[in-house]
Structure 1
């Protein structure tokens, strides 16, 4: 498990390095047409199934995001990227996520923006060998990033359109018999933009 997590971290860092060679744009909106940005972030996540009384799993996420300008006159962007979340508690999943978000940057000052976002996520279970956990699920997310020059702080919450776990049987007492689970996740993120 530790080797897989280390490999995921190394992959994310190499993606960020490649992206930096391609683009040196900042996250702050410029009126120039086609001004894109990249973002690297570290998140604390609380992941819980949508069943009353079920315990949440704490996790750490690493992510790379690419923002693509879709308007020359408005600070409107489509974001995509890749992220990996490792859950510390038992069971400890390793979840790979690919978001597709729409975000609009609201300038507060020349160096401070508020960027609300709304989108979908494609989630894959990379490491858990538990029979009740599926390998793919699709979900949604809503949140906002607060951009402070080259740094940002983000808050987001998301849920699932599809079940991520299906406990038709009781597996080692983790889940009650006969429930299906969608992932609900709250994340707090800090990172850099370039």
Structure 2
């Protein structure tokens, strides 16, 4: 019985030593001034309107990541993007994101970065009548950095109506949802 108790204590003590060994060999965060990203996305855009179908789109974006924590890879992201939706929508929208992201370093060159935040959208042109000039949305997603390249997927929706029409006889309103797959460069 004493041998079993000594073996159990030795096992527990070795766990702490192995945890220190693992921690000392993992990738550590080095605070920097942030990062920039440029990317191109394929978008699948749908609306909350009854009977509507998804339309395709393409986006170009620039994102600036600003470090907010001294000892961890926590960032606020902002930037500027433009999305052109084609098929039946024919719309051009400018977007300013405001995200919080955390970059988990897997290795020196691979990082996984989940994000969540808001989007401020300015509708520049649209074939839809009564489209609002300004809309507010949300988004969540993940980027995977592979050295200087990155892949990402985000999904977002409208917090405010994209379009609202009411003439006393008919009324409708809908919000837009956006699923985007992105490739780009990190610098």
**Which residue matches 1:39?**
37
Pair 46,129 (structure 1): closer, same or farther in 2 beyond 3 Å: closer
Higher strand share: 2
- Stretch deviating more after TM superposition (134-143 or 33-42): 33-42
Structure 2: 5+ residue runs without aligned partners? 1-26
Structure 1: 5+ residue runs without aligned partners? 1-28, 170-176
**Which residue matches 1:51?**
49
Pairing 1:180–2:161 present:
no
Pairing 1:189–2:182 present:
yes
Max Rg structure: 2
TM-score (norm 2): 0.80
CA RMSD of aligned residues (A): 1.7
Pair 56,168 (structure 1): closer, same or farther in 2 beyond 3 Å: farther
**Which residue matches 1:121?**
119
CA contact (8 A) 2:137 2:159 kept: yes
**Which residue matches 2:11?**
none
TM-score (norm 1): 0.77
Pair 153,70 (structure 1): closer, same or farther in 2 beyond 3 Å: same
Alpha-carbon distance between aligned partners in 1 of 2:91 and 2:176, rounded to the nearest angstrom: 12
**Which residue matches 2:17?**
none
Alpha-carbon distance between aligned partners in 1 of 2:78 and 2:28, rounded to the nearest angstrom: 20
Structure 2 counterpart SS, 1:53 = coil
Structure 1 counterpart SS, 2:125 = coil
CA contact (8 A) 1:31 1:72 kept: no
- Equivalences for 1:60-79 in 2 at 5 Å? 60-79=58-77
